[in-house]
Amino acid sequence: SQTIHQWPATLVQPVGSPLSLECTVEGTSNPNLYWYRQAAGRGLQLLFYSVGIGQISSEVPQNLSASRPQDRQFILSSKKLLLSDSGFYLCAWSSHRGYNEQYFGPGTRLTVT
């Protein structure tokens, strides 16, 4: 069966510091991968998605970037965090063979102080 991991689970970072969040998927190959952000009590905002290694599509222009160095690894980064970057970051995967049913990781709760 497939599993998706995210780390860290929680993170408190000062404004202006860098960020690196990691997501890995097990039990499947060549998944579609997604990064979402959810502000407190709000909906799901798609940040980036990737259909293959090195292929990244950005949905919202901002100070975040994403990379996919390996087939089942997806990384979200920032060089300098803003207060508005606080939120719940969710990684998700879907299969190329399905209808894009997405399965979410446990999430990283980021607080920028």
Partner 1 sequence: QQPVQSPQAVILREGEDAVINCSSSKALYSVHWYRQKHGEAPVFLMILLKGGEQKGHDKISASFNEKKQQSSLYLTASQLSYSGTYFCGTGGYSGGSNYKLTFGKGTLLTVNP
8 Å CB contact between 80 and 93: no
Q: What's the Cα-to-Cα distance from 86 to each of 15, 41, 68, 78, rounded to whole Å?
A: 10, 13, 22, 12
Whole-number minimum distance, CB 79 to partner 1, in Å?
26
Would you state the structure tokens that stand for residue 72, as one six-digit string? Answer: 């089942």
User: Minimum CB separation from partner 1 for residue 80, in Å?
Assistant: 27
- Residues 47 and 104: their CA atoms lie apart, in Å, by 14
Least distance (Å) between residue 13 CB and partner 1: 20
Length of the chain: 113
- Smaller CB separation from partner 1, 22 or 103: 103
Question: Residue 67 or residue 104: which is nearer to partner 1 going by CB?
Answer: 104
The CB-of-45 to partner 1 minimum distance in angstroms stands at: 8
Cβ-based nearer residue to partner 1, 51 or 73: 51
- Report the interface residues with partner 1, using CB under 8 A: 32, 42-44, 46, 49, 51, 59, 90, 94, 99-107
**87: which strand partners?**
110
